[in-house]
Amino acid sequence: MPEPLILGIETSCDDTAVALSRGFNLLADQAASSMDQHAKFGGIVPEVASRAHLEVFQPVLQGALAQAGHQLTDIDAIGVTAGPGLVGSLAVGLAAAKALALALDAPLFGVNHVVAHALVDQMEHGPFLEAVLALVVSGGHTVLLIIDGRHITQLGATLDDAAGEAFDKVGRLLGLPYPAGPHIDLLARDGDPQAIAFPRALTRRQDLEKHPYDFSFSGLKTAAARWIEAHQNRGEAIDLADFSASYAEAAADVLVSKTIQAAKDHHLHTVVIGGGFAANSQLRAKATQKMAEAGLEVRIPRLGLCTDNGAMVAAATEHSFRHGQRPSQMSIGADSAMDLTQMVAEYPQVTRDGRLPSRPLGP
Ligand code: KG4
Ligand code: ZN
């Protein structure tokens, strides 16, 4: 039997992304971003994002089908991001996915966006053969998860800002365009990572006892903001390359050292790094080097699979299939704070006030 043809739909933030895959073999990956409309506001405007998803979903879907040389009726299963993300944006993708699932009589998988950022690596480097340690670093999350088949254990997370968020906020102080992460990355390439000694939060012995696998980036962000302010007050020019290199080094240092420790403590041999911030060159280089020295296999997807995309949702759907996960029910909602130990939204989904939905729809 051929592997299933999977449609993956991602609309959790500003990207309207659709992918088609045959198992873990990616056939098409199309996206349209509304970032240009948000950039002038210095952050994502939810209403604008939802409206853009509505406008471009159909052409992006048609583009993916054309790229893969398939038609809608060929599709065997549909995956869609159910959370975390912006509710209005998620709702557009979910509504489209439900309509398609009903029309095609195909199973629907409401996928967890954060977990999918790690699972997508299988599209590039093949299936996970054993439990992996996943470091997912994005604009909204910084988490360490053990992914073992369809079971997920959360080891730690950021206590405050996500790494990408901290980069975007400091970038704003420097007058860089939003999102600033990629700009800081580029600037850092010509700088000295040891030029400024920025703090490494939660790495002292007493902090490690309480928060061995947690992160904190608000201290780093504040230290950087003070440093910028002090220079501006003295009328001194800021060496953007040295600043960016030192800032990126401090973030990468903590992410990599805590991840290696978690892998050792839990006897895991493979580390997967995903999420938009996994596109960061300094993190990629440090992780590749330090994790190899520690005897770990490190898997980091190519840049296009790190930032939000449809392939991650298709990959999560295929992974769920392989590990015997039942499809979601038609009544799944958009879950902006979806539990990270949930790979796929299960039914019955308990409402925010702890009750079950009163009238389940569909099978
Ligand atoms: O995963 P993602 O595309 O969206 C979320 O799910 O949040 O991540 C977006 C984040 C932004 O904060 C952006 O600044 C950051 O990823 N980012 C980077 C790089 N590329 C994207 N941060 C540092 N270096 C990069 N090269
Ligand atoms: Zn993301």
Distance CA 191, CA 145 (A): 32
Q: Give pLDDT, residue 359.
A: 46
Number of H helices, E strands in the chain: 13, 10
Protein residue closest via CA to atom 20 of ligand 1: 182
Protein residue closest via CA to atom 2 of ligand 1: 276
289 within 8 A of 9, measured Cβ to Cβ: no
CA 114–ligand 2 middle distance (angstroms): 6
* Residue 335 beta carbon below 6 angstroms from any ligand 1 atom: no
Sheet containing strand 142-148, edge to edge, reads: 151-157, 142-148, 132-137, 270-274, 297-299
* Residue 181 beta carbon below 6 angstroms from any ligand 1 atom: yes
* Residue 139 beta carbon below 6 angstroms from any ligand 1 atom: yes
At residue 200's C-alpha, the angle toward residues 184 and 242, to 5°, is 35
Distance CA 192, CA 265 (A): 32
129 within 8 A of 107, measured Cβ to Cβ: no
Please count the other Cβ atoms lying within 10 Å of the Cβ belonging to residue 210.
8
* Residue 244 beta carbon below 6 angstroms from any ligand 1 atom: no
Distance CA 185, CA 11 (A): 25
Mode of pairing for the β-strands spanning 5-10 and 77-83:
parallel
Distance CA 4, CA 24 (A): 10
Q: Give pLDDT, residue 2.
A: 83
10 within 8 A of 93, measured Cβ to Cβ: yes
Q: Give pLDDT, residue 312.
A: 98
Index of the ligand 1 atom closest to the CA of residue 281: 26
CA 162–ligand 1 middle distance (angstroms): 10
Distance CA 42, CA 205 (A): 37
Index of the ligand 1 atom closest to the CA of residue 114: 6
Say which residue the tokens 């997807």 belong to: 301
Distance CA 60, CA 294 (A): 42
Distance CA 145, CA 114 (A): 10
* Residue 278 beta carbon below 6 angstroms from any ligand 1 atom: no
CA 269–ligand 1 middle distance (angstroms): 26
pTM, to two decimals: 0.95
* Residue 138 beta carbon below 6 angstroms from any ligand 1 atom: yes
Element (H, E) at 28: strand 25-33
Ligand nearest to C-alpha 44: 1
For each of the chain's 363 residues, which pLDDT tens digit applies?
789 999 999 999 999 999 999 999 999 999 999 999 999 899 999 999 999 999 999 999 999 999 999 999 999 999 999 999 999 999 999 999 999 999 999 999 999 999 999 999 999 999 999 999 999 999 999 999 999 999 999 999 999 999 999 999 999 999 999 999 999 999 999 999 999 999 999 999 999 999 999 999 999 999 999 999 999 999 999 999 999 999 999 999 999 999 999 999 999 999 999 999 999 999 999 999 999 999 999 999 999 999 999 999 999 999 999 999 999 999 999 999 999 999 999 865 555 565 555 544 444
Give the closest residue to 304 by CA, choosing from 68, 19, 82, 101. 19
Mode of pairing for the β-strands spanning 108-112 and 132-137:
unpaired
